[in-house]
């Protein structure tokens, strides 16, 4: 029983390096040139056991002048037409395009080029548009074949039924010796009683006559895994044969559907099939009407889209690599760490000096994507060696620190959204004249707005006064605030309490000898005297000495500030996370474990470090009811009078002492016995 | 031999390529001039595997395996990339979902993403920290410790060596 031979199309497969190379060539060589470029494709000749589909691959070597041969690969020769716009890609006439491709092949058949290189019959075409900004590649492969080639299958049987084992062996080894240009199509001659011969098409095709046709087998490498079908490009072979052997129209001829497979360590053609096929009559449009566009993944005639952003866009590669580093931490060490929460956290860095730079870089390491800097100065020549985000050139250009920090952060990691604001933070005791009134008001509003928009506020300023306004606003807004201050060889990193009193979490189980303070009730920078006990520089706060510091101090304190903020973020109570402290010397803090730790461990209130002895201590202090920055008295006044109150404070810090009732306290007490003054403007 | 030198490694991978050429198995030797550990071998294979996140339908995937030498660990590394027909590369998470062989063991420790020792680009990599442990018994006994090691770890990532390679370890 005879039926028509059915066809399967080879499947296109694009190596990522192909898109990469195409982009490169488009930018550097082709530019706006839309002429067709010759490219190579290849397929594996040995049937794979793990994948029953033959694919034709293209990769970066596809653009080479010569096919880079390898013994298990056979070439396809093709063209790519890369359009300049998506419109051109859509609008070009696909039927016309494939017909003209077919015509090119027909020309090669007519001119006899195919004799030299039968793999020319394996031809393909790519229409593409590369959206290089988005790394999107629209593409459509075609494997042009003549439309009207109906071949009737008269008879089929296994190779071994036609040829002896010895002959199969001869065929096998003769095939291996063929040049790769002749391996896709060749001719086997077998006359009764004679030895089997393998010939190139070039050497015998024109000599075949209608008398000895039965001695010949037209062999073709079959790309179909399906026994019942052959590769569609077989039609090009028929077109070629019929052009030179006109007498074969409407006649039968022998064919070998050649198939190489691996049996153990042997490669054999045993699984090949021998056909007797009846060839068609050449219609008028036999060589002029061509088809072969590939179907897309939805099995429709249409283009495909490769989104290569993850693979080719270096900024996306960087982002994924940064995230992966953090995920490894989650997968291996801290399964319960909430990276998504960290990633979404917006950080406001008040101060872009040594501390600001160090904090920003460590935040990047944690995968923080939103970083805003506020600073009022420009990069000076002494800055770059200590302030890790700046370069010499920034100081030559006198760039504002906030802007330079934001820009350079993006150079380090383009995935960060960093912004700089050049701005002076209004300070108590820094009188506001008529001319500065409007600007001061604007600064207050802007700072308030920035604090509201961010989740974690870092106080990294170099003066004590400048920390006052952000401390007040962050407390009112219930934001996590991390404060860092430096001494010559000591540092203080602490978190502030907030104004919200509603939340009362009970202290978790903790060892005896420890006290606990709920997170919202923790002291701010102004509640406690920051002078270390016994400090010889009596009456001077850490930050007032900070212009002279050991260079490592800012890096350490900056890093600790970030780690503290992350520990707060990862604690289930967040800003309310309680702090534990001990008054006895017998229980070392390292051994303190409490049942409501952050996944990262303890969340201390403050960390004081001393480089002279390389030691840390973790004191915790409660809010001071007369604090000049975060006490109820101050906040009540601020909420009631807003700008009026602030302007009073800016004009005279004495006003703060009045509102916080410190003035009264001073009258009642010999204050010097109780607390030390930190400076003449401030008393806490 | 207590550890594998670069020279040992180069000899081993050249042996692999020689056998592969006879078998038409597709391993190719690549060389990056000017690097001490510039030699590595590459092989591509196509597979059909289900990708979980896109329904359970099977996808045609191209695996490109690289065997290169990691100087800091002093061991060979097996790294690879996997892409779909349009060229888009699978993420490590997508690959984990598609790979049933790691389900019960801790794949995060074993299969990770690292920079290729020669190309310095991210590849899915069998982490080299355990490689020496696996290789140690082979260093004395096997004629080609790289093949011995590869035949042990390869199957976890769908790379199977035919017996022709394993034969040279003992001959």
Would you call A546 a catalytic residue per the annotation?
yes
What would the mean pLDDT of B62-69 be, rounded to a whole number? 96
Write the residue in A48, A70, A311 that is nearest to B46 by C-beta.
A48
Chain B positions touching A16 (Cβ under 8 A) are 81, 83, 87-89
* Residue of B63, B88, B109 to mutate when probing chain A, most A C-beta within 10 A: B88
Contact yes or no for B122 and A317 at CB 8 A: yes
Look at residue B57 and tell me whether its pLDDT is greater than 80.
no
Taking only the tens place, the pLDDT of each residue in A304-363 is 999 998 888 888 888 888 888 888 888 778 888 999 999 999 999 999 999 999 999 999
Chain A positions touching B112 (Cβ under 8 A) are 328
Scanning A151-221, the segments in alpha helix (DSSP H) are 159-162, 165-177, 201-204
- Shared domain for A533 and A497, answered yes or no, is yes
- C-alpha–C-alpha distance, residues A574 and A520, integer Å: 10
- C-alpha–C-alpha distance, residues A440 and A447, integer Å: 10
DSSP A224-276: -SSTTEEETTHHHHHHHHHHH-GGGTT-EEEEEEE-BEEETTEEE-TT-EEEE
- Shared domain for A545 and A573, answered yes or no, is yes
- Residue A248 inside a domain? The answer is yes
Look at residue A536 and tell me whether its pLDDT is greater than 60.
no
Residue A205 near residue A241 (C-beta atoms within 8 A): yes
Spatial CA neighbour of A437 closest among A681, A635, A651: A651
Chain B positions touching A13 (Cβ under 8 A) are 46, 60, 62, 85
DSSP A596-626: T-BTTB---SEEEEETTTTEEE----BPPTT
Look at residue B7 and tell me whether its pLDDT is greater than 50.
yes
Chain B positions touching A295 (Cβ under 8 A) are none
Q: How confident is the model at residue B103 (pLDDT cuts 50, 70, 90)?
A: low
* Residue of B17, B22, B24, B111 to mutate when probing chain A, most A C-beta within 10 A: B24
Write the residue in B23, B26, B87 that is nearest to A265 by C-beta.
B23
**Pairing, β A123-131 against β A73-83:** parallel
Look at residue B108 and tell me whether its pLDDT is greater than 70.
no
- C-alpha–C-alpha distance, residues B7 and B37, integer Å: 9
Judged by a CB distance cut-off of 8 A, whether residue A176 touches chain B is: no
Chain B positions touching A316 (Cβ under 8 A) are none
Spatial CA neighbour of A608 closest among A647, A626, A581, A633: A581
- Residue A340 inside a domain? The answer is yes
Chain B, nearest residue to A312 by Cα: B88
Coil, helix or strand at residue A648: helix
Contact yes or no for A11 and B46 at CB 8 A: no
Look at residue B56 and tell me whether its pLDDT is greater than 90.
no
- C-alpha–C-alpha distance, residues B60 and B54, integer Å: 13
**pLDDT given at position A671:** 47
Look at residue A136 and tell me whether its pLDDT is greater than 70.
yes
Looking at residue A536, the DSSP 8-state letter turns out to be S
- Shared domain for A413 and A507, answered yes or no, is yes
Beta-bridge partners for A198: A188
- Residue A189 inside a domain? The answer is yes
Chain A positions touching B109 (Cβ under 8 A) are 332
Contact yes or no for A16 and B89 at CB 8 A: yes
The minimum CA-CA distance between B22 and chain A, rounded to whole Å, is 9
Judged by a CB distance cut-off of 8 A, whether residue A500 touches chain B is: no
Mean per-residue pLDDT over chain A, rounded = 88
- Residue A659 inside a domain? The answer is no
Query: What is the interface size between A and B, counted as CB pairs within 8 Å?
Result: 92
* Residue of A13, A60, A329 to mutate when probing chain B, most B C-beta within 10 A: A13
- Shared domain for A599 and A463, answered yes or no, is yes
Taking only the tens place, the pLDDT of each residue in A16-73 is 999 999 999 999 998 888 899 999 999 998 887 777 888 999 999 999 998 887 878 9
**pLDDT given at position A682:** 36
Judged by a CB distance cut-off of 8 A, whether residue A265 touches chain B is: yes
Contact yes or no for A306 and B24 at CB 8 A: no
- C-alpha–C-alpha distance, residues A114 and A504, integer Å: 87
The minimum CA-CA distance between B1 and chain A, rounded to whole Å, is 30
Helix, strand, coil shares of chain A, percent, nearest 5, are: 35, 25, 40
H/E segment holding residue B43: strand B39-50
Write the residue in A15, A70, A331 that is nearest to B87 by C-beta.
A15
Q: What CATH code is carried by the domain that includes residue A284?
A: 3.40.140.100
Chain B, nearest residue to A262 by Cα: B23
Contact yes or no for B26 and A18 at CB 8 A: no
The minimum CA-CA distance between A88 and chain B, rounded to whole Å, is 21
**pLDDT given at position A230:** 92
Taking only the tens place, the pLDDT of each residue in A565-602 is 999 999 988 999 888 887 665 555 555 666 567 788 88
C-alpha dihedral sign at A347, A352, A355, A358: positive
Contact yes or no for B83 and A16 at CB 8 A: yes
DSSP B61-109: EEEEEEEEEETTTTEEEEEEEEE-TTSPBPPHHHHHHH-GGGTTS-HHH
Look at residue B62 and tell me whether its pLDDT is greater than 90.
yes
Q: How confident is the model at residue A241 (pLDDT cuts 50, 70, 90)?
A: very high
Domain boundary among A610, A626, A642: A626
Contact yes or no for B24 and A332 at CB 8 A: no
Domains of chain B, with CATH numbers?
A: 6-170 (3.30.1460.50)
Contact yes or no for A12 and B89 at CB 8 A: no
Q: What CATH code is carried by the domain that includes residue A137?
A: 3.40.140.70
- Shared domain for A462 and A591, answered yes or no, is yes
Q: Containing domain of residue A494, as a range?
A: 318-626
- C-alpha–C-alpha distance, residues A628 and A471, integer Å: 10
Spatial CA neighbour of A440 closest among A218, A294, A172, A646: A646
- C-alpha–C-alpha distance, residues A165 and A605, integer Å: 86
Instruction: Give residues with Cβ within 8 angstroms of A11, minimum separation 6.
Output: A53, A54, A55, A56, A294, B60, B85
Look at residue A79 and tell me whether its pLDDT is greater than 50.
yes
- Shared domain for A586 and A440, answered yes or no, is yes
Of the CA atoms within 13 Å of residue A683, those in its CB half-sphere come to 19
Instruction: Give residues with Cβ within 8 angstroms of A416, minimum separation 6.
Output: A364, A368, A369, A370, A371, A409, A410
SS (H, E, C) A447-507: HHHHHHHCCEEEECCCCCHHHHHHHHHHHHCCCEEEEEEECCCEEEEEECCCCCCCCCCCC
- Residue A549 inside a domain? The answer is yes
Judged by a CB distance cut-off of 8 A, whether residue A42 touches chain B is: no
Beta-bridge partners for A293: A142
**pLDDT given at position A662:** 77
From its phi and psi, is residue A56 left (phi > 0), alpha (psi between -120 and 50) or beta?
Answer: beta
The minimum CA-CA distance between B88 and chain A, rounded to whole Å, is 6
Q: How far is CA A371 from the centre of its chain?
A: 19
**Pairing, β B28-31 against β B122-126:** unpaired
Chain B positions touching A321 (Cβ under 8 A) are 113, 122
CB atoms within 10 A of CB B36: 8
- Shared domain for A272 and A307, answered yes or no, is no
Q: What CATH code is carried by the domain that includes residue A482?
A: 3.40.50.720
Spatial CA neighbour of A76 closest among A255, A292, A275, A340: A292
Domain boundary among A594, A626, A658: A626
**pLDDT given at position A605:** 94
Phi then psi dihedrals of residue B4, to 5 deg: -90, 125
Look at residue A376 and tell me whether its pLDDT is greater than 70.
yes
**pLDDT given at position A472:** 94
Contact yes or no for B85 and A13 at CB 8 A: yes
Write the residue in B28, B60, B88 that is nearest to A307 by C-beta.
B88
Chain A, nearest residue to B21 by Cα: A71
Residue in the structure block whose two tokens are 């009730």: A521
Q: Which residues of B touch A (CB under 8 A)?
A: 21, 23-26, 28, 44-48, 60, 62, 81, 83, 85-89, 91-92, 108-109, 112-113, 122, 158, 162-164
Instruction: Give residues with Cβ within 8 angstroms of B7, minimum separation 6.
Output: none
- Residue A220 inside a domain? The answer is yes
- Shared domain for A173 and A235, answered yes or no, is yes
**pLDDT given at position B14:** 96
- C-alpha–C-alpha distance, residues A480 and A471, integer Å: 10
C-alpha dihedral sign at A113, A119, A123, A128: negative
Beta-bridge partners for B67: B41, B78
Residue A426 near residue A443 (C-beta atoms within 8 A): yes
Which of the pair, A683 or A347, is modelled with greater confidence? Answer: A347
- C-alpha–C-alpha distance, residues A519 and A572, integer Å: 12
Please state, in angstroms and as integers, the Cα–Cα distance from residue B85 to each residue in A91, B13, B19, B37, B88, following that order.
Answer: 25, 29, 29, 31, 7
**pLDDT given at position A505:** 56
ipTM above 0.85, yes or no: yes
- Residue A63 inside a domain? The answer is yes
Tokens encoding A468: 């006052």
Look at residue A545 and tell me whether its pLDDT is greater than 60.
no
Residue A75 near residue A42 (C-beta atoms within 8 A): yes
Rg (chain A; Cα; Å): 40
**pLDDT given at position B54:** 57
- Shared domain for A131 and A212, answered yes or no, is no
Q: How confident is the model at residue B76 (pLDDT cuts 50, 70, 90)?
A: very high
Domain boundary among A311, A346, A366: A311
Instruction: Give residues with Cβ within 8 angstroms of A359, minimum separation 6.
Output: A349, A458, A460, A484, A558, A561, A562
Instruction: Give residues with Cβ within 8 angstroms of A584, minimum separation 6.
Output: A513
Q: How confident is the model at residue A451 (pLDDT cuts 50, 70, 90)?
A: very high
Spatial CA neighbour of A144 closest among A108, A182, A181, A185: A108
The minimum CA-CA distance between A473 and chain B, rounded to whole Å, is 43
Please state, in angstroms and as integers, the Cα–Cα distance from residue A208 to each residue in A110, A205, A587, following that order.
Answer: 18, 6, 102
Out of A245, A347, A528, A546, which one is annotated catalytic?
A546
Percent over 90 (pLDDT), chain A? 63
Q: How confident is the model at residue B1 (pLDDT cuts 50, 70, 90)?
A: low
Chain B, nearest residue to A70 by Cα: B26
Scanning A83-233, the segments in alpha helix (DSSP H) are 86-91, 94-111, 113-116, 159-162, 165-177, 201-204
The minimum CA-CA distance between B42 and chain A, rounded to whole Å, is 13
Judged by a CB distance cut-off of 8 A, whether residue A320 touches chain B is: yes
Look at residue A115 and tell me whether its pLDDT is greater than 90.
yes
Q: How confident is the model at residue A447 (pLDDT cuts 50, 70, 90)?
A: very high
- Shared domain for A534 and A599, answered yes or no, is yes
Which of the pair, A70 or B163, is modelled with greater confidence? Answer: B163
Contact yes or no for A72 and B24 at CB 8 A: yes
- C-alpha–C-alpha distance, residues A283 and A250, integer Å: 11
Query: Beta-strand (E) ranges in A318-399?
Result: 346-350, 370-375
What would the mean pLDDT of A138-151 be, rounded to a whole number? 94
Chain B, nearest residue to A335 by Cα: B108
- Shared domain for A441 and A457, answered yes or no, is yes
The minimum CA-CA distance between A128 and chain B, rounded to whole Å, is 12
What would the mean pLDDT of B144-166 be, rounded to a whole number? 92
Judged by a CB distance cut-off of 8 A, whether residue A178 touches chain B is: no
Structural domains of chain A, count = 3
Write the residue in A11, A72, A320 that is nearest to B85 by C-beta.
A11
Residues of B designated catalytic: 129
- Shared domain for A407 and A546, answered yes or no, is yes
Write the residue in B62, B91, B109 that is nearest to A13 by C-beta.
B62
- Residue A654 inside a domain? The answer is no
């Amino acid at each position: 029983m005879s039926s028509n031979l059915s066809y399967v199309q080879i499947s296109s497969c694009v190596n990522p390096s192909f898109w990469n190379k195409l982009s490169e060539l488009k930018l550097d060589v082709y530019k706006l040139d839309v002429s067709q470029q010759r490219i190579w494709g290849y397929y594996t000749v040995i049937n794979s056991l793990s994948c029953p589909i033959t694919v034709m691959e293209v990769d970066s070597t596809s653009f080479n002048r010569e096919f880079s041969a390898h013994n298990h690969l056979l070439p396809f020769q093709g063209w790519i037409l890369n359009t300049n716009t998506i419109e051109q890609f859509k609008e070009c006439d696909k039927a016309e395009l494939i017909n003209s491709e077919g015509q090119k092949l027909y020309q090669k058949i007519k001119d006899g080029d195919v004799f030299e290189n039968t793999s020319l019959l394996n031809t393909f075409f790519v229409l593409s548009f590369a959206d290089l900004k988005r790394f999107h590649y629209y593409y459509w492969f075609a494997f042009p074949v003549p439309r009207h080639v109906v071949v009737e299958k008269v008879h089929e049987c296994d190779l071994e039924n036609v040829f002896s084992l010895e002959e199969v062996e001869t065929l096998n080894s003769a095939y291996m010796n063929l040049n790769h240009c002749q391996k896709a199509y060749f001719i086997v001659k077998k006359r009764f009683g004679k030895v089997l011969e393998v010939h190139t098409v070039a050497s015998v095709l024109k000599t075949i006559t209608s008398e000895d046709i039965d001695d010949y087998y037209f062999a073709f490498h079959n790309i179909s895994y399906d026994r019942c079908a052959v590769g569609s490009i077989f039609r090009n072979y028929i077109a070629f044969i019929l052009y030179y052997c006109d007498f074969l129209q409407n006649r039968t001829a022998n064919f070998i559907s050649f198939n190489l497979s691996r049996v153990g360590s042997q490669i054999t053609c045993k699984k090949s099939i021998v056909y007797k096929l009846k060839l068609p009559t050449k219609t008028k449009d036999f060589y002029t009407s061509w088809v072969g566009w590939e179907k897309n993944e939805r099995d429709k005639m249409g283009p495909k889209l490769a989104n290569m952003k993850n693979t080719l866009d270096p900024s996306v590669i960087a982002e994924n690599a940064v995230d992966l580093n953090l995920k490894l931490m989650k997968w291996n060490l801290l399964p319960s760490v909430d990276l998504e929460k960290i990633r979404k956290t917006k950080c406001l860095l008040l101060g872009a000096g040594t501390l600001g730079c160090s904090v920003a870089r460590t935040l990047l390491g944690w995968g923080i994507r939103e970083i805003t800097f506020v600073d009022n100065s420009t990069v000076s020549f002494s800055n770059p060696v200590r302030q890790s985000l700046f370069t010499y050139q920034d100081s030559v250009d006198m760039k504002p620190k906030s802007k330079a920090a934001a820009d350079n952060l993006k150079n380090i990691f383009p995935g960060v959204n960093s912004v700089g604001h050049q701005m002076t933070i209004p300070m108590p005791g820094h009188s506001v004249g008529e001319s500065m009134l409007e600007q001061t008001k604007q600064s207050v509003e802007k700072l308030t707005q920035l604090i509201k928009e961010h989740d974690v506020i870092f106080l990294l300023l170099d003066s004590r006064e400048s920390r006052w306004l952000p401390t007040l606003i962050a407390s009112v807004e219930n934001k996590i605030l991390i404060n860092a201050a430096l001494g010559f060889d000591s540092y203080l990193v602490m978190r502030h309490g907030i104004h919200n009193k509603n939340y009362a979490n009970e202290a978790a189980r903790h060892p005896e000898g420890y006290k606990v303070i709920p997170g919202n009730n923790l002291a701010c920078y102004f509640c406690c005297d920051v002078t270390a006990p016994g400090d010889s520089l009596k009456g001077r706060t850490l930050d007032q000495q900070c212009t002279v510091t050991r260079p490592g101090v800012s890096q350490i304190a900056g890093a600790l500030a970030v780690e503290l903020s992350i520990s707060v973020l990862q604690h289930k109570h967040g800003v309310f996370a309680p702090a534990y402290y001990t008054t006895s010397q017998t229980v070392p803090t390292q051994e303190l474990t409490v049942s409501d730790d952050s996944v990262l461990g303890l969340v201390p209130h403050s960390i004081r470090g001393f480089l002279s002895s390389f030691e840390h201590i973790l004191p915790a202090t409660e809010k001071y009811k007369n604090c000049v920055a975060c006490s109820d008295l101050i906040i009540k006044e601020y909420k009631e009078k807003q700008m009026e109150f602030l302007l009073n404070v800016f004009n005279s810090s004495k006003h703060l002492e009045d509102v916080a009732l410190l003035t009264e306290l001073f009258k009642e007490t010999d204050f010097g016995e109780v607390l030390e003054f930190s400076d003449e403007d401030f008393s806490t | 031999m207590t550890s594998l030198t670069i020279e040992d490694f180069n000899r081993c991978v050249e042996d692999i390529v020689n056998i592969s050429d006879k078998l038409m198995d597709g391993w190719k030797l690549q060389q990056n001039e000017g690097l001490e550990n510039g030699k590595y071998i590459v092989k591509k294979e196509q597979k059909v595997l289900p990708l979980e996140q896109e329904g359970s339908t099977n996808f045609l995937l191209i695996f490109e395996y690289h065997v290169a030498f990691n100087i800091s660990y002093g061991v060979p590394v097996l790294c690879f990339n996997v892409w779909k027909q349009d060229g888009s590369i699978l993420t490590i998470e997508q690959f984990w979902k598609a790979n049933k062989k790691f389900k019960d063991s801790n794949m995060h420790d074993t299969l990770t993403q690292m920079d290729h020792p020669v190309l310095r680009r991210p590849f899915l990599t069998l982490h080299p920290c355990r490689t020496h442990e696996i290789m140690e018994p082979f260093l004395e006994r096997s004629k080609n410790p790289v093949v011995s090691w590869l035949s042990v770890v390869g199957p976890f990532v769908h790379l199977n060596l035919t017996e022709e390679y394993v034969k040279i370890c003992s001959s």
